[in-house]
Structure 1
Amino acid sequence: MPMNQPVAEGREYEARHLLVLEGLEAVRKRPAMYIGSTDTRGLMHCLWEIIDNAVDEALGGYGDAIEVILAADGSITVHDRGRGIPVDVEPRTGLSGVEVVFTKLHAGGKFGAGSYNATGGLHGVGASVVNALSSRLDVEVDRNSATWGMSFRRGVPGTFDGPGPIAKFTPGASLQKLRRAKKGVTGTRITYWPDRQIFLKDAQLSLTDLEARARQTSFLVPGLALSVTDARGPETTQETFKHDGGITEYCEYLATDAPLTDVIRLQGRDSFTETVPMLDDAGHMEPADVDRELEVDIAVRWGSGYESRTKSYVNIIATPKGGTHVAGFERALTRAFSKALEGTRLLKSGEEIIKEDILEGMTSVVTVRLAEPQFEGQTKEVLGTPAVSRLVGKIVEAELTSFLTSTKREAKAQARMVMEKVVSASRTRVAARAHKEAQRRKNALESSTLPAKLKDCRSTDVDRCELFIVEGDSALGTAMRARSSEFQALLPIRGKILNVQKASVGDMLKNTECASIIQVVGAGTGRTFDLDAARYGKIIFMADADSDGAHIRCLLATLFFRYMRPLVEAGRVYTAVPPLHRFELINPKRGMEKYLYTYSDAEYQRKVAELTKRGQNFKEPQRYKGLGEMDADQLSETTMSPRHRTLRRITVDDAEAAEQTFDLLMGNDVGPRKGFIVDGAYQLDAATIDA
């Protein structure tokens, strides 16, 4: 644009257009930056922030119990027996310690070296962020033989003239001394109401997630009792988690297969120097070298299975995406096993092992503790401190080599079994790769034929193509006439496929139906699965709307979850929702369709009531017992046509919970499944059974 050309209206950009957010306004303006989202995940993240502060006190040796209460009025209370938030005046701000912690971003006792050594919180924003996103927050502190209290509304200190967040609020109050407390009693009670101006209406606290987090923390801090009380429903439930066995007990809890070894503890301590910005006497930030202590504690065991499970933590904060501590651990595994196998005749000349061979059947809990760890973001999912990788690797390699080369009878026998398992995994991997390469060469010379029963589509646009996995040949004939052959492919399966949760990989591949599904999807299985190679954009299970159909859908979901999980994680696996009932209207009124469909018994009852109220006559509704009862037009209109159908996407919001559910429903352990069925039997309304 020429320098003298006038600026178009609406494109001005002056200093007056800049918005300066003061205090906690930034949190309310951009909450997702601090808690990830404003749905259930963000709501739970706020609770984790408060609980983690209480756990940090216990981690430092102050207090051995934490109570979490979910009240019927929507409030959440966290009570710890730590030292209590400081109540004296902070000299630079002139505010009480409580007000500083709850109203100032990046303020707390975890920046310096005096109050905490290793903590989960380190950015100093957790309590203040929760305060900013709460319609009301009350804090009480037991300290100095007194109970002190203060209240806030959306981050602003003040007083309420009654209970709950809707009480009249008067801003401007400071910390008050409420009453005397017993000598020596200390702790903090925080009660808050999440602000529904911020969080989505359907965001709800998950008791399952809360109890899982409490259980996990009780393993990581031995001796700490965490009590969770849920008073939101008609009945109040309470459960307390306390484990004195630490991560050894946690590793045993996580493992699902028969053990080859006892739980092995790999422990050590080392130091490193880190360059960090520090405030000098003049208040300027200057780089300075700081000596850090790193404490490493890892529990690991090998079992007879093939799945690998690793849980990692930094100062008891979960790092689900790993980081430098996990990278150092995994590199050390390979070095230690390679070194130990050199002294045996198990590994033949030319053979080598890689990390994946060692991870088969391994369950591990990796924990490190250090001051001021570097995380990627406030959600703390990945540890980034560079020096940790080298030090963890050194400690693990030394400790694990000691176990693998032990001369003690029991340890020696266990080490031998593990090394034999690793070598066997290596040879299986090499044989599988050779078979795959041979198959590729064969495919290059002659075209590979897909199963004859596959009714493929004509389109080559993967994103548009859909594969319907259809239950039975009877439904296949109707589905062939109902589909759009341009982009909808059909693969019939006969009855119920193999339960792959109980079967080995070899048995799964020998099963005709499973092998056909994997071949048709065309992207491989397990670790070698290539999502980009999948031949269809949607995989849709289409089975009858009865118990057998539900069983078949569950078996198919198990197959995809276990061997083609990236498809599920990408949201490309669905179940079709066929109708249960069809209404045929007699002389329908203007604007009404002649045929109406309902997809559940509740919807059926509502539709009957609606038609009766309107005075609309209809024939006796038809109850579909299977897909084969519909003709092609009906199947297309209700179940297959993208314009009218309903699909239910299969997602993995929580892979761990999903895997536990599959193991309960499909695994080898019959006892828990029997208990699940018996408990469910008492909740079944016998009158609803379609017999």
Structure 2
Amino acid sequence: MGDRLAAAASDYSARHLTVLEGLEAVRKRPGMYIGSTDSRGLMHCLWEIIDNAVDEALGGHGEQITVTLHADGSVEVADRARGLPIDVEPRTGLTGVEVIFTKLHAGGKFGGGAYQSSGGLHGVGASVVNALSERLDVEVDRDGATWAMSFHRGEPGEFLDEGEPSPAATFLPFTDASRLRKVGKVKKGVTGTRVRYWADPQVFTKGAEFLADELARRARQTAFLVPGLGIEIIDDRGDERVVHDFKYDGGISEFAEYLAPDPALTATWRLTGEGEFQETIPVLDEETGHMVTREVDRTCEVDIALRWGTGYDTVVQTFVNIIATPKGGSHLAGFEQSLLKLIRDQVAANARKLKAGTDKVEKDDALAGLTAVVTVRLPEPQFEGQTKEVLGTPAVRQIVAQVVARELGAILTSSKRDEKAQASQLLEKVVSEMKARISARSLKETARRKSALESSSLPVKLVDCRSNDVEQTELFIVEGDSALGTAKPARDSEFQAILPIRGKILNVQKASIGDMLGNAECAAIIQSIGAGSGRTFDLSAARYGKVIMLSDADVDGAHIRTLLLTLIHRYMRPLIEEGRVYAAVPPLHRVLVKHRGKPDEAVYTYSDAELHRTLARLKKAGKSWHEPPQRYKGLGEMDADQLAETTMDRTKRTLRRVTIGDAERATEVFELLMGNDVAPRRDLIVSSQPDRDRIDA
């Protein structure tokens, strides 16, 4: 890809060599800015443009955002906010539109003048998206007119379209001076911005696409976080247009109710407040044009909605300036720290009434059944990493802790009848959780039961490895004894262990924990990993560094992987969160290529499409092969050498790492298809209108 990028860079005109110096770096190392160049990176770029429109809405400008996924692969984001600045920026001599889309760190999020809080990618979002787009068009409604500018891989110019706009149209870069084209008129007072872009196939991997479900999920989340903001998603890529509309006036209180997996034990409480802190940051000096260090006063606004339910699952989502921080950070640390201290103090103050004894409440006891949405807003938040998964600003921890202590403390000590009754129920639940935890631990220590979690012996079926080095060891969960017969001699017995399971394990999505523990296959898996399950799962006790699902490359194999993934996600989630769960990728076909006077060469393919391409390539090269190519109906059809070479040899194999997002989506789909709620499944079947012939087949 580097040669293609260099070739593309050589097309830039001399005038833009300095303008595009930063953007060329983005194209050479896109992963530094958007995390990856697959569908995930593509979605990251889209949200950078959407976040700019959301930032305007946060500032009180515009109440509607429309995102359109076009059939030609492009995407358009339209808002009704103030419109991008079209006047000339004095230092560069360029219009505001060109500065925003070609200069790194030149957006309105720098200097502190435009936004009190924002969600954009450290001020580089628009220019990064532009650099990674084959074509990007901007239209701005402002001052009674519509102004337009286009870019080709970051370089401003004009496309000579014939009909519908396309990145394949002839592009004329500006050579003397850039200009905004006046392409229409609008009524007085009408403002807004429309950005449409085509992602660059030189940068993004083949098959990368915009994920409609993920887009809708995050649009709903954003609509909850910005009350009154309407977000419309239009997908024109299929045979029929699909439209989603999201608008919520209840804000994060409504969000917490939406996220809650159980009936309410308490009302949804809202905790709000703010705090001041000082921060030393580099600031652009307008006189010298250099960055200077200054100490600035910051304000951090805190808004939290939380409620406890009758269940035991904990759902806590955190946000900074409406941007999700899935791995938490200083705001989550402050929330949990203050919440635990407050509940401990209340339990201690009511110890006699609650019969709590002298035992100490732990974090899991306090968080059981909690659903919370924790949001903070502050200028220029510090994130650990460009993709903003962890908030790093240290002062936020104490500010959030103080707001929780003051606001939640007032509710738990309130003399109002409703709040007093709910606080009493909450403390009883927490103490009950504490007692259950202590009882379970005592029982485990004094009289170990012969159950899946507590048996000291390993499963008879487990073919263990010799090494005790957890970082190096791998547990392969294979489908059936026939696959075991092939996998056992194919493995590296020093580091690779094998556990065969009989067909499809129990569907734990709708089974009780008792049923799960009583199921031999589930018990064997938990027992082999050796770290317990559920809330007592201890990742440090896991016996293997990797857990690898190895099943046939067919529908049944995919079903088995989904069942295994549901078990691990529900009862051993830290394995997925730490990136220690993988799916092996066995081949579908084996082609034996003939060589004169030499042994035949084995070529493996992993899909029907890849097989056809491989055979076409061999035919073009004048090579012949043994007909027909072998198709593996299952792992048992491979011999040990073939399985080792393609699937188990660390130097040659391909593994797919399972992320928490993969597991959550699999669990959602599995709940829909296999759960106890019949109505959504019936709606899916009716709407899908399956082919009768396919069902009978």
Sort the TM-score into its range (normalised by shorter chain): 0.7 to 0.9
- For 2:343 and 2:387, the matched residues in 1 are separated by 34
- For 1:304 and 1:27, the matched residues in 2 are separated by 49
| 1:187 paired residue among 185, 188, 192 | 192
- For 1:603 and 1:36, the matched residues in 2 are separated by 28
- Does the Cα contact within 8 Å between 1:465 and 1:489 map onto a contact in 2? yes
- Does the Cα contact within 8 Å between 1:457 and 1:487 map onto a contact in 2? yes
**Change beyond 3 A, Cα 1:92–1:648:** closer
- Match in the other structure for 1:424: 432
**Change beyond 3 A, Cα 1:340–1:547:** same
- Counterpart code for 2:264: P
| 1:169 paired residue among 149, 169, 172 | 172
- Does the Cα contact within 8 Å between 2:459 and 2:528 map onto a contact in 1? yes
- Does the Cα contact within 8 Å between 2:585 and 2:647 map onto a contact in 1? no
- Match in the other structure for 1:118: 117
Aligned pairs, number = 657
**Change beyond 3 A, Cα 1:233–1:674:** closer
**Change beyond 3 A, Cα 1:466–1:576:** farther
Q: How far 1:616 sits from its partner (Å)?
A: 8.2
- Counterpart code for 2:166: G
Q: How far 1:506 sits from its partner (Å)?
A: 5.2
- Match in the other structure for 2:84: 85
| 2:332 paired residue among 310, 315, 326 | 326
| 2:261 paired residue among 256, 280, 284 | 256
**Change beyond 3 A, Cα 1:272–1:635:** same
- Does the Cα contact within 8 Å between 2:579 and 2:659 map onto a contact in 1? no
**Change beyond 3 A, Cα 1:602–1:644:** farther
- Counterpart code for 2:579: A
- For 2:235 and 2:423, the matched residues in 1 are separated by 46
- Does the Cα contact within 8 Å between 2:490 and 2:648 map onto a contact in 1? no
Is the aligned partner of 1:312 residue 2:314? no
- For 1:190 and 1:27, the matched residues in 2 are separated by 20
- Counterpart code for 1:335: K
Q: How far 1:57 sits from its partner (Å)?
A: 0.7
Is the aligned partner of 1:574 residue 2:580? no
- Counterpart code for 2:377: R
Q: How far 1:522 sits from its partner (Å)?
A: 2.0
- Match in the other structure for 2:371: 363
- Match in the other structure for 1:14: none
Report Cα offsets for 1:561-583 as digits up to 9, x if no partner: 2222344453544368697x999
- Counterpart code for 1:422: V
- For 2:213 and 2:120, the matched residues in 1 are separated by 23
- Does the Cα contact within 8 Å between 2:517 and 2:523 map onto a contact in 1? yes
- Match in the other structure for 2:693: 686
Q: How far 1:100 sits from its partner (Å)?
A: 1.9
Structure 1 range deviating more: 245-254 or 538-547: 538-547
Report Cα offsets for 1:376-410 as digits up to 9, x if no partner: 34322222222221111111111112222233333
| 2:249 paired residue among 240, 244, 266 | 244
- Does the Cα contact within 8 Å between 1:541 and 1:576 map onto a contact in 2? no
Q: Does the residue aligned with 2:21 lie in a helix, a strand or coil?
A: coil
Q: How far 1:533 sits from its partner (Å)?
A: 4.4
Report Cα offsets for 1:156-201 as digits up to 9, x if no partner: 2222222322223232431233332101100111122222222223
Q: Which runs of 5+ in 1 are unaligned?
A: 1-18
- For 1:130 and 1:362, the matched residues in 2 are separated by 38
- Match in the other structure for 1:396: 404
- For 1:409 and 1:112, the matched residues in 2 are separated by 49
- Match in the other structure for 2:39: 40
Q: How far 1:496 sits from its partner (Å)?
A: 5.2
Q: Does the residue aligned with 1:421 lie in a helix, a strand or coil?
A: helix
Q: Does the residue aligned with 1:168 lie in a helix, a strand or coil?
A: strand
Report Cα offsets for 1:446-478 as digits up to 9, x if no partner: x94323344545666767766554666788789
**Change beyond 3 A, Cα 1:135–1:409:** same
Is the aligned partner of 1:269 residue 2:274? yes
- For 1:151 and 1:483, the matched residues in 2 are separated by 56
Structure 1 range deviating more: 561-570 or 263-272: 561-570
**Change beyond 3 A, Cα 1:157–1:595:** closer
- Does the Cα contact within 8 Å between 2:347 and 2:356 map onto a contact in 1? no
- For 2:552 and 2:35, the matched residues in 1 are separated by 40
Report Cα offsets for 1:227-270 as digits up to 9, x if no partner: 11122233322222111221111111212222222221111233
- Does the Cα contact within 8 Å between 2:533 and 2:572 map onto a contact in 1? yes
- Counterpart code for 2:693: A
- Does the Cα contact within 8 Å between 1:567 and 1:573 map onto a contact in 2? no
- Counterpart code for 1:308: T
- Does the Cα contact within 8 Å between 2:579 and 2:657 map onto a contact in 1? no
- For 1:331 and 1:466, the matched residues in 2 are separated by 36
**Change beyond 3 A, Cα 1:121–1:575:** closer
Report Cα offsets for 1:305-351 as digits up to 9, x if no partner: 32212111111111222222111111111122122223322252321
- For 1:615 and 1:385, the matched residues in 2 are separated by 62
- Does the Cα contact within 8 Å between 1:553 and 1:575 map onto a contact in 2? no
- Counterpart code for 2:658: T
TM-score, length of structure 1 as denominator length: 0.82
**Change beyond 3 A, Cα 1:146–1:430:** same
- Does the Cα contact within 8 Å between 1:222 and 1:246 map onto a contact in 2? yes
Structure 1 range deviating more: 495-504 or 536-545: 536-545
- Match in the other structure for 1:212: 217
Q: How far 1:364 sits from its partner (Å)?
A: 0.9
- Does the Cα contact within 8 Å between 1:122 and 1:372 map onto a contact in 2? no
Q: Percent identity?
A: 58
| 2:227 paired residue among 213, 222, 225 | 222
Q: Which has the larger radius of gyration?
A: 1
TM-score, length of structure 2 as denominator length: 0.81
- Counterpart code for 2:223: S
**Change beyond 3 A, Cα 1:34–1:448:** closer
Q: Does the residue aligned with 2:332 lie in a helix, a strand or coil?
A: helix
- For 1:638 and 1:688, the matched residues in 2 are separated by 34
Report Cα offsets for 1:17-44 as digits up to 9, x if no partner: xx99835333233322222232222222
Q: Does the residue aligned with 1:683 lie in a helix, a strand or coil?
A: coil
- Counterpart code for 2:201: R
**Change beyond 3 A, Cα 1:638–1:418:** farther
> What value does the CA root-mean-square deviation take over the aligned residues?
4.2
Q: Does the residue aligned with 2:335 lie in a helix, a strand or coil?
A: helix
- Does the Cα contact within 8 Å between 1:483 and 1:641 map onto a contact in 2? no
- Counterpart code for 1:59: L
Report Cα offsets for 1:29-70 as digits up to 9, x if no partner: 332222223222222222111111111111111111011112
Q: How far 1:286 sits from its partner (Å)?
A: 5.1
Q: Does the residue aligned with 2:207 lie in a helix, a strand or coil?
A: coil
- Does the Cα contact within 8 Å between 1:218 and 1:241 map onto a contact in 2? yes
- Does the Cα contact within 8 Å between 1:315 and 1:370 map onto a contact in 2? yes
- Does the Cα contact within 8 Å between 2:94 and 2:178 map onto a contact in 1? no
- Match in the other structure for 1:55: 54
- Does the Cα contact within 8 Å between 2:320 and 2:377 map onto a contact in 1? yes
Q: How far 1:219 sits from its partner (Å)?
A: 0.7
- Match in the other structure for 1:651: 658
Is the aligned partner of 1:235 residue 2:240? yes
Structure 1 range deviating more: 347-356 or 320-329: 347-356
Is the aligned partner of 1:412 residue 2:420? yes
Structure 1 range deviating more: 286-295 or 602-611: 602-611
- For 1:94 and 1:191, the matched residues in 2 are separated by 25
- For 1:603 and 1:124, the matched residues in 2 are separated by 42
Report Cα offsets for 1:591-614 as digits up to 9, x if no partner: 999999999899999999999xx9
- Counterpart code for 2:252: I
Is the aligned partner of 1:562 residue 2:576? no
**Change beyond 3 A, Cα 1:347–1:505:** farther
